A = this chain, B = another copy of it.
């Protein structure tokens, strides 16, 4: 084996192990919520020593946020696919936004885990970039159809995209907390009302 081939193999092995740790972390979070996510619990679930986990993630915050980055990637893909199945820009925007609610419904552990981004400090540069990239992917699944549907551009478009994303986050939180149903509303109906009132250029 040449040095280059050996290096490639080491890199593939590291990648495989990192993914196995993230998969274990997902199972821990699914089963016990974000509070159950500790390096020790993830290592036990993955069948590694805790020290092995630390060689991939600097700590539990970093691991939690890497898992959220992965979840955001899945979310962006689902939203993009939903938009692509729709027949026009307004329908694509509505489909992507509805899919954001649908994909996160009944997934409180990962929604709550994502809240960890609010306390994330001193993330490794690679991970911070990965999160930013995934967030932009999610926003763009809304942004493309929103620009096409409304004719908005530049700052005006950004403002509506971010406001819509904020609304989706808040609707998910209120809905999952049982605070919409009690008042006779659904996240979907409030979303539909907002989409119907989007400004146009």
A193–B159 contact, CB under 8 A?
yes
Interface residues of A in 86-121 (CB under 8 A from B): 108-109, 111-112, 115-120
Residue of B112, B135, B174, B178 near A166 (CB, 8 A) is B174
Q: Which residues of B contact A171 (CB under 8 A)?
A: 166, 170
Tier of interface size on chain A = 35 or more
CB of A55, distance to nearest CB on chain B (Å) = 22
A130 part of interface (Cβ distance < 8 Å): no
Q: Which residues of B contact A155 (CB under 8 A)?
A: 184
B166–A190 contact, CB under 8 A?
yes
CA distance A197 to B196 in the complex (A): 13
A174–B169 contact, CB under 8 A?
yes
List the interface of chain A (C-beta within 8 A of B). 33-35, 60, 108-109, 111-112, 115-120, 132, 135, 155, 158-159, 162-163, 165-171, 173-174, 176-180, 182-185, 190, 193-194, 197, 199
Taking A34-B35, A118-B177, A167-B167 as known contacts, 8 extra A-B pairs with beta carbons closer than 8 A to each other, sorted by chain A number, are: A35-B60, A112-B119, A117-B177, A158-B185, A163-B193, A163-B194, A170-B170, A170-B171
